[in-house]
Structure 1
């Protein structure tokens, strides 16, 4: 056994498929000899991306940067929609271009380059601009970053499905999550120990370091040995919008997956309301940047390997139980708020934030693994793209609804999200099983 194979199987445990016909795990014969080396290269490249993500974070670091630069508050509200929807909405439109590529890894490389450029542009803003100029420039750079993430999202799932067999894909994502969690925890502790002001020059230096990580990542990813295929002839096909609509209309299992995924937004949309409630009751106790970064790091460390293996065992059941968990955490938090003693507790709000981060991690790993396992070839590419584009639209809609409900209080928005999660868990049980090691 080579050192590469030994290391890969120390990180990723192979699972045997119950069906002999699926013994290859859906990987072409040409890719079989390179599974271990490809796996390590993807882990390394995506870990670099995960490290950069801890800095280019639209929920923590970037709002802090804009506040430090004196940008008007209206720009703060734009960050999360640009980052999340901007990385999802373009994917269906980008799919025809991706399908023309013989090797899909170049989509990830191009996306990493765009993300590095976006991070470097934000660093330049941190060093040179303030006020309205900074408020405009950071969202523009974030839009470039989000477009790059759309390319990486499409490319990574396609390459993962081509080079790594079923039963190991979720673990790949889990290892990457743990590595980025270590970095997040280290960064958060450093910011807490720093003790002084987290000012614009410091954030600019961190953003430059993040940009460098994407460069390292793309150099690693470019070495993945992906089996090349003939480019698809997309010129004779219908437009991407027509194809996307037809896929959602005619493919019932895929349509159900998209609906379930939308209903699982409880773990993604609840944390900002928890933070807002916590700040209202605790003042500045929750406003330290390091605390938020640390919470995400702890969640990644706790859940990365565990959820990765559970996703390979049954991504469908992991989605269901994470939806139940997110709703239960949210409901428990709402009940705790009824107690004046608990409401003023210094531990209630950060603990709830941490628990939601953990179940959100499980949700992310589960739905990523599910969509990669449920199809092969260009059908997988279409599934990923159309699901993410649909989610970009639904995320904006859900954000608008919860924002409207928050007029009656943040608690009202949390009640709505908890109910969505329970409905999603019930519907998720009816999804077909696609994971390795499960009866079909």
Structure 2
């Protein structure tokens, strides 16, 4: 039964008895204030903050060479793929980032140290991206009719690892980084990461992108090296083990557990609806470079400028929303982002209808697309404030599943693009995005009520001897 308005605060603190045990009465009062005193600040917190920033910078720099809105669809086209194969990319992407985390959330919660799930998945991502690179290293493989299917299969496995990796990372962030530092972490990591990514793109992509082909072995090989460096950083995080009580969880089917969370926690349910509508924008990502190619005759060399524009957008929106989130809460950031994402498909259509402007200004579409990773992190950070740390894996995996639901229609969207054209599909997605933007104004602000739920707890702070 849906909670009533008068039950709102208790619902937030304890969505269900099996999910969030009430805080101990013996908990220090100052933990509920949302701030730690200077005496409670530990060197390991600063160390972990810097390591997480470095990790994100390396991943962001490597990610510019595998953007889902430009590079990866271009790979499918180069291997002889069709519209439905382009449409399969976001499906495989979001399926990997939703279902595997849901299946493994209980296992990750049961780990005394979440760090090892983070390390393991980061290392497996390196191996899988090396396998993608090998398609262009093994003689004759890229010209095989099976190459496109091998690529899709490895792509699916890679994003399954990404999904569990993000769950482990966000769980660690909820454990090790205090509430009012998370927006700063997002801003610093994305701003510096975007700057290094842009510098690498300007320096390297002109060497690897040509009018009639691209040197994908070099592109993906460089990303593999950066992901490997990120995996080393993951090993260096300092985390104390959780207690047995923190790791305990009621045994129940994983999807039933997700439904229980949605049914019992109204604010989280609202968030998941907004997040799901926002993620409908992802079904258009593979088709942005397609509309530019088909309607404006923009070739492979333009990919460089689009990935640069996308990372500039990430930096701009990180600088804009990070401080807003720390000062006023993530709700304000989410409202702003859900409104602005509505402009992306309409901008793409308008530019395609005006070729003279479109040929020089299509980068504006990717500038707007750059807000997507910022929004996804903001959704995660908002989720961390809705419940207590022991429930973070379940809540985060449930959010990922809800964000993935629209993506299961991405192959169908690819068929509709081939059948109806870009205009009808882009308008339909815009309607969903506008509904999500409107519903974002019904989100609550949990910052002042549950800030203590996401703070660095004493059990998460390692002993002084282990911090350096």
Does the alignment reach a TM-score above 0.5? yes
Q: Does 1:327 align with 2:342?
A: yes
1:102 Cα offset (Å): 0.6
Which of 201, 216, 230 is the equivalent residue of 1:203? 216
Q: Is the 8 A contact 1:406 1:412 kept in 2?
A: no
Counterparts of 1:238-317 in structure 2, within 5 Å, are 238-265=252-279, 267-284=281-298, 288-312=302-326, 313-317=328-332
In structure 2, distance between residues paired with 1:39 and 1:294: 26
| Counterpart position of 2:133 | 123
Which of 133, 136, 141 is the equivalent residue of 2:146? 133
| Counterpart position of 2:11 | none
Q: Is the 8 A contact 2:310 2:367 kept in 1?
A: no
| Counterpart position of 2:25 | none
Q: Which sits farther off after the overlay, 274-283 or 378-387?
A: 274-283
Q: Which sits farther off after the overlay, 195-204 or 173-182?
A: 195-204
| Counterpart position of 1:225 | 238
Which of 424, 427, 431 is the equivalent residue of 1:412? 424
Q: Is the 8 A contact 1:122 1:207 kept in 2?
A: yes
In structure 2, distance between residues paired with 1:86 and 1:284: 31
In structure 2, distance between residues paired with 1:41 and 1:98: 21
| Counterpart position of 1:79 | 89
> How many aligned positions are there?
417
Q: Is the 8 A contact 1:49 1:213 kept in 2?
A: yes
1:206 Cα offset (Å): 3.0
Which runs of no fewer than 5 residues in structure 2 stay unpaired? 1-28, 453-468
Q: What does the per-residue CA deviation read over 1:22-58, in whole Å, with 9 as the maximum and x for residues that have no partner?
A: 455589x988442111100111122222222222333
| Counterpart position of 1:175 | 188
Which runs of no fewer than 5 residues in structure 1 stay unpaired? 1-18
1:243 Cα offset (Å): 1.0
**Per chain length, whose mean CA-contact separation is higher, i.e. which structure has more relative contact order (CA < 8 Å, sep 6+)?**
2
Identify if the C-alpha distance between structure 1 residues 314 and 270 changes in structure 2 by more than 3 Å, giving closer, same or farther.
Answer: farther
1:106 Cα offset (Å): 1.2
In structure 1, distance between residues paired with 2:407 and 2:302: 27
Which of 364, 368, 373 is the equivalent residue of 2:376? 364
Give the TM-score normalised by structure 1: 0.83
Give the TM-score normalised by structure 2: 0.79
SS of 1:224's equivalent in the other structure is coil
Q: Which sits farther off after the overlay, 213-222 or 109-118?
A: 213-222
1:94 Cα offset (Å): 0.7
Identify if the C-alpha distance between structure 1 residues 405 and 197 changes in structure 2 by more than 3 Å, giving closer, same or farther.
Answer: closer
Identify if the C-alpha distance between structure 1 residues 78 and 398 changes in structure 2 by more than 3 Å, giving closer, same or farther.
Answer: closer
1:439 Cα offset (Å): 11
| Counterpart position of 1:214 | 227
